[in-house]
Amino acid sequence: MPEPSTTRLGLYKPLNDGSELVNVQTDLNQNWDKVDLAAGLQIVTSSTRPSSPYPGKAIAESDTSYRSYFSNGTSPASASWVQIPNSSSTFNADLDLTSGRQVNIGASSSGASLAVVNAATTTDAISLRVTGDTQSRFLVDTDGTLNWGPGGSSAADAVLARSGTAALALTGSLTASGALAASNFPAGAWSTYTPAWTTSTGSNTPSLGNATVTASYTKIGRTVIVSFSITFGSTTNFGGGGTSDNWRFSLPVEAEHTPECAGMAEINDASSIGAVAVCRVNLVTTGTFQLQNSSGRADAVAMTSPNWGIIDSVSPWTWAQNDAIRGTFIYEAAS
């Protein structure tokens, strides 16, 4: 009996005691044929893989652009093949990396899980397409620019890119199903505030007392929109300084400029049905606004000097409980 054949290639081994003559056909030629067949990757097709591969057996399939595999020795043999990535064919299996490992393209020094280095900022780094597309539906350039398109043969039509220091620019439009919130773009309800009531001289300062005050504002970028309504109460103090002490009310946010007309307001004398007039909202300082009468009364009763112009305790009438001022205006904030 000969010695047991080798476990991997099944090479024939004559007796090692010298009692068996060397047979060129079995001892040499057939063994060399097996060695030659096993050298490198055995070329097969996807339907002619070896049925009894040894662990580590390597093959390449000529009908799949030479996808390469090795057998891990498990049973059945058909389930033992593990694909080896190569540049000749498409990879046809999941590629699992251990946590902390990376896919690195271009010898990037980044430690990110996917790290890419390209020579130009406009070089495509990531592309998503549907079968048949010649243009990407989603594309990431090396500089981080994000491109979206309809796919097919149509180029991207929505682009989000860095436009400068701490700034992004969107080409296209943005639709949100929920609220958009940012540090300078409010979401939800307006902010409320209570205007501080002073005079132009700082003397004879009025006080709201039990007046009903409803004032709110919103700030979008550097644009401030204010809405206010004040109905004076029984304990309201109107100041009593006469026409030399014009009323002023504080702004919720410091203004950049002092426009003559930032908006309009209505003033109402509750003692007379037609005692209603329109005023301009004038930013007299970057921190305060005043009301300047710019029309006659709705009931056509004349308003004569000195009881017209900028509103105060006696202009355009002597104020009392239940009288009201209300208005809306807009201005540019200082920051």
Q: What angle do CA 114, 115, 120 make, to 5 degrees?
A: 130
Task: Tell me which H or E stretch contains 33.
Answer: helix 30-38
Q: Are residues 243 and 282 in the same domain?
A: yes
Domain-embedded: residue 246? yes
The answer to pTM > 0.85 is no
Q: Are residues 217 and 151 in the same domain?
A: no
Q: Are residues 132 and 242 in the same domain?
A: no
> Residues of 42-70 as b/e, b for ≥16 C-beta within 10 angstroms?
eeeeeeebeeebeeebebbbeeeeebbbb
Rounded Cα distance between 333 and 315, Å, is 29
258 or 92, greater pLDDT: 258
Q: Are residues 116 and 240 in the same domain?
A: no
Q: Are residues 156 and 219 in the same domain?
A: no
For 135, counting Cβ atoms within 10 Å of its Cβ (0-12 exposed, 13-18 middle, 19+ buried), the class is middle
Owning domain of residue 220: 191-332
318 or 17, greater pLDDT: 318
Question: In this predicted structure, what is the pLDDT of residue 149?
Answer: 97
Question: In this predicted structure, what is the pLDDT of residue 162?
Answer: 95
Rounded Cα distance between 302 and 218, Å, is 37
Q: By C-alpha distance, which of 206, 193, 198, 190 is closest to 285? A: 198
Give strand pairing partners of 218.
225
Question: In this predicted structure, what is the pLDDT of residue 208?
Answer: 97
How many structural domains is the chain composed of?
A: 2
Question: In this predicted structure, what is the pLDDT of residue 304?
Answer: 66
Domain-embedded: residue 215? yes
Domain-embedded: residue 318? yes
Q: By C-alpha distance, which of 146, 149, 150 is closest to 159? A: 146
Rounded Cα distance between 282 and 243, Å, is 17
Q: Does the pLDDT at position 9 exceed 90?
A: no
State the CB neighbour count (10 A cutoff) for residue 308: 18
